[in-house]
Structure 1
Amino acid sequence: MWEIGKIKSSYGINSGDLLPLTTTDIEVNIEGVNYIVNLQTDNMQVKHNPKVSLKDPFLPPYNTNLFVENIGPEHVCLLNKFPIKTPHLLVCATKYIPQTTALKLTDFKAWVKGIKGQNILGFFNSGRAAGSSQSHRHMQLIQTDLPLESVIINNALPFKHNLLLLDQLNAEELYSHYLSVMSDFDLYTSSTVNGFVECFPYNILLTERWMLLIPRYKNEVYSMKGHGVNFVGRFLVNSMEQFEWLKEYGFMNFLIQCGFSK
């Protein structure tokens, strides 16, 4: 899927089917961590235009320039029309399932098929307070450096989280651990949506080496909005003024405010 994604991403940018949200990476070294910052493009305004944001982009018929491949009977791989990196792959449920409901084993089985390589990051945003902008079930995949990886694997993140270190990717193991953490963190609500159990906001970050689950409190600090990718040390700002604010406020402090105290 990555090879197809690369080819179609190059074509999609030239054709206008893809509208990247980011510019060139800017690195900021703070206390030994090379945080990555991107300045958002004007395409963010297109993404949040009601004519675009209110439409479900993950239901067929698919834009052929964004379709990558089918992944089993329940999932499809599409290109993100508004990538934060290219290629930016989405593993989407073929039928509508609310993004705020609990993941299934089949979700993990489809998702791990795209996590091949040490710089591949999978991330899942459950709910708007966790950075989700689409309500249709989708897991995401990008290729990126992971500035906070050493902090993560040393279990030194200063906010509530759960870390699972991996010898290999195994969907059954991931799903079993996911269910345990969701219960331990009391992330299930008492309500259901379309027959599915609804959850409180959280993020999952997944690589070949570890899985991180983070309960979320909010997704905006002052005027800056967050995203699941922030928790590996990658940020998106809307202006150079916001960039300067973030440096002064503190990258890690921003993440702490978005989550819960340990």
Structure 2
Amino acid sequence: MSNELEKGTLWKKVVDTTQRAIDNKSLLTIETLSYNIRQQGLNFTVRVAENIKRKREHKRVEPDFNPFLPPEAALTVCDISPSHIAVLNKFNVVEHHLLIVTRQFESQQSLLTMADFSALCHCLPEYPSLGFYNAGEDAGASQKHKHLQMVPLPLYGETEPFPFSTVFAKQSETDTISQLTQLPFKHTFCCLPEGLFENPNLASNHCHHLYHKMLKQLEIARLTGSKEQHHSTPYNLLITRQWMLLVPRTTECWQKISVNAMAYVGSLFVMNQEGLKRLEEIGPVNLLQAVSQ
């Protein structure tokens, strides 16, 4: 039996597994209300949790607990490659939120490998989606076991793919690493060639090469450990079929508001109405600047 993803099958597998997980109560969706905030010409969507208590009640507290070894059977979608599998995010805010997980333990602080990009680049062409990686706890990672993530676009059923869509849509020059003047935090950005993902193997090589160039431009060094290469600075990587964005981080949260990769396309999450009020007072742009380099 093949352990590689069959082209054109991922979306149906995600949808079918989601429905089964809902039916047997394995999927514990965090219900949210949506609010919009605008600052410095940027539109933000803020999701406010209504049932975050459920996540706390179900979350395992053992310090060494690894939800991916093995992953929960009811949440396991399919094989992707010899090195990665697809698993649903148990506590999802976005519907059909997928995790791309290494079969064997690798650290979430280790650099992305060709195998990681191969798994991601075989999944991204399957349906409109945003892939991302929270490189370490200070970048918003909640698990130590390496996993990339992928959410369908548009987010939350909105008409635009994500709140910062207009910022990214203005860019067209491919393979040139640059900065977007509207994004008020340190980052590197690069457009990808049209049609690149028609060949996932070519896409994974191309994106892996760009990833290392972006790290180098941001002066994020490789630190060699006993088995893996780690990064010197936490960061968030975001990728679609059209572009890549890499943002170095300083801390996971500010003013009790946590930030992960999705914040850098304008999607924020707070745990309650108090968090929303605090975010409105400090401003989402100020939040991103506080947690980014």
TM-score by length of 2: 0.81
* Residue ranges of structure 2 left out of the alignment (5+ in a row): 1-9, 156-160, 171-179, 198-202
Structure 1 residue 213 corresponds to structure 2 residue 246: yes
* Matched-pair contact (CA < 8 Å) for 1:204–1:213: yes
Structure 1, 105-114 or 22-31: larger mean CA deviation: 22-31
Amino acid at match of 1:50: V
Partner of 2:237: 204
* Matched-pair contact (CA < 8 Å) for 2:187–2:218: no
Query: How many residues are treated as equivalent by the alignment?
Result: 257
Distance, in Å, in 2 between the alignment partners of 1:117 and 1:84 is: 21
Distance, in Å, in 1 between the alignment partners of 2:127 and 2:281 is: 31
* RMSD, aligned CA: 2.0
* Residue ranges of structure 1 left out of the alignment (5+ in a row): none
TM-score by length of 1: 0.90
Q: How far 1:33 sits from its partner (Å)? A: 4.2
Distance, in Å, in 2 between the alignment partners of 1:230 and 1:207 is: 15
Partner of 1:67: 76
* Matched-pair contact (CA < 8 Å) for 1:2–1:114: no
Structure 1 residue 37 corresponds to structure 2 residue 46: yes
Tell me which of 7, 21, 30 is aligned to 1:12. Answer: 21
Amino acid at match of 1:203: N
Partner of 1:137: 146
Cα 1:206/1:176, change in 2 over 3 Å = same
Amino acid at match of 2:275: Q
Partner of 2:11: 2
Residue aligned with 1:116, SS? helix
Cα 1:93/1:80, change in 2 over 3 Å = same
Tell me which of 99, 112, 115 is aligned to 1:90. Answer: 99
* Matched-pair contact (CA < 8 Å) for 2:188–2:218: no
Cα 1:21/1:191, change in 2 over 3 Å = farther
Distance, in Å, in 2 between the alignment partners of 1:10 and 1:39 is: 24
* Matched-pair contact (CA < 8 Å) for 2:187–2:246: yes
Q: How far 1:31 sits from its partner (Å)? A: 5.5
Identity %: 27
Tell me which of 186, 190, 205 is aligned to 2:219. Answer: 186
